């Protein structure tokens, strides 16, 4: 796999057998986070037409369908993830459509959806701010007027990680950062126990960085909060994810 950070790296890193298997396990063992359920209950009517971008193996798509959000489509960049999601849906006899597609060039006409959801920091697995901006712009395009864009990110402003990011900023100032990284806030990490040598990418933004991107696309920001301030999560959720920040935007 190339070390070049681009959308191809993202696609490749989420297409390995080990990563797909983990996401299949998340779909069956973890399902919808309590925080995700609460956000949807507050901001998304059951009748909404929903696009679940970066759906992986269908963890959120299928769980939302089971909660009554039946007008939902899952979309992911990885063919392997979509194949897994389709298999799970077929075995569970859940009639959800899963498509292969790029968040930066969504295969839908404008004003197609009431809600677009990009869960589990998926937006920030897209390298380069201008490419992430393109994804946000296209999500804005496919939303109906008044539609909501809901997503999560890691949070550089989280007090729990101030020490790390202070040290990382000093490395960047001195030019000592990982040479593969493109922007301050980028991370490359591996999980040898489950992913082997696969390197995962994620960008960790500040709140102001995210606000700037969504406002540039034309959204208004309705709500932003750390997950821990929304509710407590299960041990299973906490075992696979650190705290994240939810954003709810409106077209």
Q: What is the pLDDT of residue 213?
A: 98
Question: In Å, how far from its chain's centre is CA 236?
Answer: 18
What residues does 187 pair with on adjacent strands?
202
Share of the chain above pLDDT 90, in %: 92
How confident is residue 130, by pLDDT bands cut at 50, 70 and 90?
A: very high
Arithmetic mean of pLDDT, 126-147: 98
Residue with the bigger pLDDT between 12 and 192: it is 12
Q: Is the pTM of this model over 0.85?
A: yes
How confident is residue 1, by pLDDT bands cut at 50, 70 and 90?
A: very low
The three-point CA angle 77-94-49 to 5° equals: 65
Task: State the first-to-last Cα distance of the chain, in angstroms, to the nearest integer.
Answer: 38
How confident is residue 4, by pLDDT bands cut at 50, 70 and 90?
A: confident
User: What tens digit of pLDDT does each residue of 142-191 get?
Assistant: 999 999 999 999 999 999 899 999 999 999 999 999 999 999 999 998 87
pLDDT at residue 115 tops 90: yes
Comparing C-alpha atoms, which of 96, 127, 87, 112 is closest to residue 7?
A: 127
How confident is residue 3, by pLDDT bands cut at 50, 70 and 90?
A: low
Look up residue 201 and give its DSSP letter.
E
Task: Read off φ and ψ for residue 127, nearest 5 degrees.
Answer: -70, 145
Task: Read off φ and ψ for residue 234, nearest 5 degrees.
Answer: -70, 160
Average pLDDT score, the chain: 95
CATH of domain 7-250: 3.40.50.150
pLDDT at residue 196 tops 90: no
User: What is the spatial distance between Cα 208 and Cα 211, in angstroms, rounded to a whole number?
Assistant: 5
Residue spans of the domains in the chain: they are: 7-250
CB 249 within 8 A of CB 149: yes
User: What tens digit of pLDDT does each residue of 31-83 get?
Assistant: 999 999 999 999 999 999 999 999 999 999 999 999 999 999 999 999 999 99
Q: What is the pLDDT of residue 2?
A: 41
């Amino acid at each position: 796999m190339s070390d070049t950070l681009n959308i191809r790296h993202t696609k490749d890193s989420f297409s390995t057998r080990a990563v797909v298997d983990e996401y299949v396990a998340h779909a069956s063992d973890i399902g919808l986070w309590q925080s995700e359920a609460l956000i949807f209950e507050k901001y998304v009517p059951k009748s909404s037409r929903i696009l679940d971008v970066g759906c992986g193996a269908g963890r959120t798509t299928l769980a939302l369908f089971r909660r009554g959000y039946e007008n939902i489509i899952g979309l992911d960049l990885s063919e392997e993830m979509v194949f897994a999601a389709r298999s799970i849906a077929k075995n569970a006899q859940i009639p959800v459509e899963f498509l292969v597609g790029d968040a930066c060039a969504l295969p839908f006409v404008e004003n197609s959806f009431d809600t677009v959801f990009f869960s589990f920091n998926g937006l920030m697995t897209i390298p380069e701010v201008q490419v992430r901006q393109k994804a946000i712009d296209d999500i804005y395009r496919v939303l109906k007027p008044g539609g909501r864009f809901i997503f999560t990110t890691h949070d550089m402003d989280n007090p729990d990680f101030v020490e790390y990011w202070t040290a990382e900023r000093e490395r960047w100032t001195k030019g000592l950062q990982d040479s593969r990284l493109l922007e301050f806030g980028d991370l490359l990490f591996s999980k040898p126990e489950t992913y082997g040598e696969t390197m995962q990418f994620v960008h960790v933004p500040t709140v102001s960085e995210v606000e700037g991107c969504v406002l540039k696309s034309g959204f208004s920001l309705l709500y932003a909060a750390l997950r821990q301030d929304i509710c407590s999560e299960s041990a299973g959720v906490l075992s696979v994810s650190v705290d994240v920040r939810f954003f709810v935007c409106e077209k």
